[in-house]
Structures are given as C-alpha cells and as structure tokens.
C-alpha cells in the first residue's frame, strides 16, 4: 500500500479527522458541516450562506451522480 504524502488531521469537536496534505478527506463518511467549518477556519475563512448553498449543491450532485459537478453545471 502506498504511503500518503504529508497526511494531516483536522480537529472536529475534539476528534481528529484524517485528510491528505491538501485537506481532502481520506474517508468520505467523515464529512460533516462541523468538518467544513473547521477546515474553513484553518484556511482563515468564514462560511457564508452562499458558501453553504454551493457546498450543499456539490454534495447533492456527488451523491446523485457519483462524480464532482463540472464547472458549467455549477
């Protein structure tokens, strides 16, 4: 099994959530709105209603189609 380059964790409610070096989840089941907020905080961002609209759209699209939405779909 290949080693991940620079894995890291994001602390979410006292629990360590594993991500890769770019902040992508290693296990999709670990996603939560609290995770999104924690990751945004680490990046110095405050999530607005417009952010949440896009996040919810992207998650719904992935759940329905099994792939990330293309830019033109967004």
pLDDT tens-digit profile, the chain (74 residues): 555 566 889 999 999 999 998 888 999 999 999 999 999 998 999 999 999 999 999 999 999 999 988 888 87
| pTM: predicted TM-score of the whole model, two decimal places | 0.79
CB of 31 within 8 A of CB of 19? no
Radius of gyration for the chain, computed over Cα atoms and rounded to the nearest angstrom: 13
CA nearest 31: which of 54, 7, 67, 55?
55
- CA-to-CA distance for 35 and 17, rounded, in angstroms? 8
- CA-to-CA distance for 25 and 29, rounded, in angstroms? 9
């Amino acid at each position: 099994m290949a080693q991940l380059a620079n894995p890291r964790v994001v602390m979410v409610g006292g629990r360590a959530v594993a991500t890769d070096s770019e902040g992508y989840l290693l296990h999709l089941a670990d996603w939560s709105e609290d995770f999104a907020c924690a990751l945004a905080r680490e990046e110095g961002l405050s999530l607005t209603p417009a952010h949440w609209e896009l996040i919810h759209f992207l998650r719904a699209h992935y759940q329905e189609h099994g792939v990330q939405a293309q830019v033109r779909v967004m």
